Amino acid sequence: MFDLVVRGGTVATEAGTECADVGISGGVITACGRRLGPGTREIDATGRLVLPGGVDAHCHVDQKSSSGLMTADDFFTAGVSAACGGTTTIIPFAAQHRGQSLRAVVEAYHERARSRAFVDYGFHLIVSDPTPAVLEEELPGLVADGCPSLKVYMTYDALKVTDRQMLAIFDAARRAGAIVLVHAENSDAVAWATGRLLAQGLTEPRCHPASRPAAAEGEATNRAIALAELAGADVFIVHVSCREALAPIAAARARGARVWAETCPQYLVLTAADMDLPGFDMARFICSPPLRNRDDQDALWGALADGQLDLVASDHAPYRLRDPLGKMVHGEDAPFTKIPNGISGLELRMPLVYSAGVRTGRIALAQFVALTATNPARIHGLYPRKGTIAPGSDADLAIWDTGLERVVAQADLHDAMDDSPFEGRVVTGWPVTTIARGEIVWHAGKVAGEPGRGRFVARTSRLA
């Protein structure tokens, strides 16, 4: 007798699909096959797709930005939103600001997450102050405690590291068994392009993309990879948005370099042209790197299809649009340089990519599973516990109605935002039931589960 049986669905993994029942006991998948015995509870998944719960490897939750703003979502609202969108594991950041102990930062995030988390979570570290104590004493211990990844910024004055610091970080990460995530934009190029716009009085939100040119992302991506190779470190380029960044990634992988990379839904379905309207509403699209053009979009889809990009993460960075503690922190007439960067997307990540990718034939279903669940789990030390449907894995599943068509409306979403950059978009294919460690947390339009049900998942070091 199982605790729960998901019966008669089409089970999809990165290896293909099969018509099978999934048997769950004690929060774990214990059997997958035809005509399984009964469960205390059963869900009929006939005519539905059964997918591994998604793993969102890049999101910002209960995080203070370098300018002191908090994200709108905490671990509860973010987790509910994730679950309603078919994602059952998230990896947000524990962000160090200069002068802080990295260990103390991580402990504070643990404290806030423990009582509020709705889905399982890990932490990437953000290192902005790579002192010898941080790199030699704190980092190895934090990796051993289950955080084998850290992010560095090549831009933003309060966060950015120099090339020399980046080399020291790569070196320490290699020795500790961590992968280094890089926000790759050339800071001086961005400052120069920004200055040129401001000098012409071009300050509206829609001018933001021109202030962060694709060349700046391409140059920094190439440099980050070169420095990682020099130090022998594993490097992961986050939020790749353009052809200029894809080229050095593909070249590095062709020569066997240890380089991984992601893109995000906003770069796959939106372009800078969506912003080309006057007024503050366009601030909803401000993110960094910025939205690009149709040609970049095509290149990103091509890179997902041919395996040059490893995963799709949301980069959920929720700052409410019409809120003095959000995008309006400096008022409605603020220049684009003063508007917080970030787009929400935890809940829509998988439906957007399914709808725009699988239904259109740009990527296959098995690739969708790999890009949204299996690869992020594997790259970030969660596999096979997370990211697949197999005996022994956590019972994290989503049952999808692939024909369900909905128009995106913020009012239907579960995050703490007041606005979505994807508002009004028609999306076909949605999770109708989500199961997290064997518990039905989203079903028939209702959320079930308490704050604190999500657990920290210690991830495996790259040395293990």
Binding residues for ligand DUC, per CB under 6 A? 60, 183, 238-239, 288, 315, 317, 341-342
- Least Cβ distance, residue 317 to ligand DUC (angstroms): 4
Tokens at 450, concatenated: 């308490």
Q: Which is nearer to Zn ion, 96 or 434 (CB)?
A: 96
Is residue 148 packed enough to be buried (19+ CB in 10 Å), middle (13-18) or exposed (0-12)?
buried
Q: 260, 127 in Cβ contact below 8 A?
A: no
Alpha carbon distance 162, 410 (integer Å): 39
Q: 390, 237 in Cβ contact below 8 A?
A: no
Question: Which option in Zn ion, ligand DUC, none does residue 342 bind, with CB closer than 5 to 8 A by kind?
Answer: ligand DUC
Q: Which is nearer to ligand DUC, 61 or 399 (CB)?
A: 61
Residue 392 φ/ψ region, left for φ over 0, alpha for ψ in the -120 to 50 degree band, beta for the rest: left
Q: 41, 423 in Cβ contact below 8 A?
A: no
- Least Cβ distance, residue 203 to Zn ion (angstroms): 23
- Least Cβ distance, residue 67 to ligand DUC (angstroms): 12
Question: Which option in Zn ion, ligand DUC, none does residue 194 bind, with CB closer than 5 to 8 A by kind?
Answer: none
Q: 64, 96 in Cβ contact below 8 A?
A: no
Alpha carbon distance 409, 444 (integer Å): 18
Question: With contacts defined by CB under 5 A, how many residues of the chain interact with Zn ion?
Answer: 2
Task: By CB under 5 A, tell whether 62 contacts Zn ion.
Answer: no
Task: By CB under 5 A, tell whether 315 contacts Zn ion.
Answer: yes
Q: Which is nearer to ligand DUC, 315 or 394 (CB)?
A: 315
Q: 295, 273 in Cβ contact below 8 A?
A: no
Question: Which option in Zn ion, ligand DUC, none does residue 341 bind, with CB closer than 5 to 8 A by kind?
Answer: ligand DUC
Task: By CB under 5 A, tell whether 183 contacts Zn ion.
Answer: yes
Which letter does DSSP use for residue 317 in this model?
-
- Least Cβ distance, residue 406 to ligand DUC (angstroms): 26
Residue type, 412: D
Question: Which option in Zn ion, ligand DUC, none does residue 386 bind, with CB closer than 5 to 8 A by kind?
Answer: none
Question: Which option in ligand DUC, Zn ion, none does residue 233 bind, with CB closer than 5 to 8 A by kind?
Answer: none
Alpha carbon distance 44, 23 (integer Å): 12
Question: Which option in Zn ion, ligand DUC, none does residue 374 bind, with CB closer than 5 to 8 A by kind?
Answer: none
Provide the binding-site residues for Zn ion, judged by CB under 5 A. 183, 315
